[in-house]
Amino acid sequence: MKRNRIEAGWHAVLPLLIYLILFITIRSVLMELMGKAAVIFSYDALPDYPVWYTAAQTAVIGIASAGAALPLLREGKRAVMTLRAGSMSAFIARRRDSRFLMGILPIGTVCLSALLNLLLSEGGRAASVAASYAALPLEAAVYGILTPFTEELVYRGIVWYRLRKSFPALQAALLSSLLFGIAHADLRQGTYAFVMGIVFSLSYELTRRFEVPFLLHALCNLAVLAAAYAGWGEALRSPMWIVFFAVTASAVFAYWRIRFERTKHKQ
pLDDT at 48 over 70: no
Least confidently predicted of 88-102, 118-132, 217-231, 253-267: 118-132
Can you give the residue range of the structural domain that contains 256?
2-266
What is the per-residue DSSP string for 193-236? HHHHHHHHHHHHHHH--THHHHHHHHHHHHHHHHHHHHT-HHHH
- Total domains in the chain come to 1
pTM of the model: 0.90
Q: State the pLDDT at residue 125.
A: 41
Q: Which CA distances in Å does 167 have to 5, 39, 175?
A: 7, 51, 9
- What is the C-alpha radius of gyration for the chain, rounded to an integer number of angstroms? 20
- With a CB cutoff of 8 Å and minimum separation 6, the contacts of 221 are 143, 144, 147, 148
Q: What are the φ/ψ torsions at residue 184 (nearest 5 degrees)?
A: -80, -15
The pLDDT tens digits for 97-119 are 899 999 999 999 999 999 999 99
d(CA 105, CA 125): 27
Mean pLDDT, the chain, as a whole number?
88
Confidence of residue 54 (pLDDT cuts 50, 70, 90): confident
If one compares 84 and 216, the residue with the highest pLDDT of the two is 216
Q: State the pLDDT at residue 41.
A: 62
Q: State the pLDDT at residue 37.
A: 76
Q: State the pLDDT at residue 265.
A: 44
Q: State the pLDDT at residue 6.
A: 74
The pLDDT tens digits for 200-254 are 999 999 999 999 999 999 999 999 999 988 888 788 888 999 999 999 999 999 9
Which of 120, 97, 101, 99 is CA-nearest to residue 109?
Answer: 101
- With a CB cutoff of 8 Å and minimum separation 6, the contacts of 194 are 177, 178, 180, 181
Q: State the pLDDT at residue 129.
A: 44
d(CA 108, CA 95): 19
Confidence of residue 76 (pLDDT cuts 50, 70, 90): very high
If one compares 130 and 228, the residue with the highest pLDDT of the two is 228
Q: State the pLDDT at residue 235.
A: 84
Which of 77, 58, 55, 67 is CA-nearest to residue 20?
Answer: 67
The pLDDT tens digits for 152-198 are 999 999 999 999 988 999 999 999 999 999 999 899 999 999 999 99
Q: Which residues of 170-183 are buried (b: 16+ CB within 10 A; e: fewer)?
A: eebbbbbbebbbeb
Q: State the pLDDT at residue 127.
A: 42
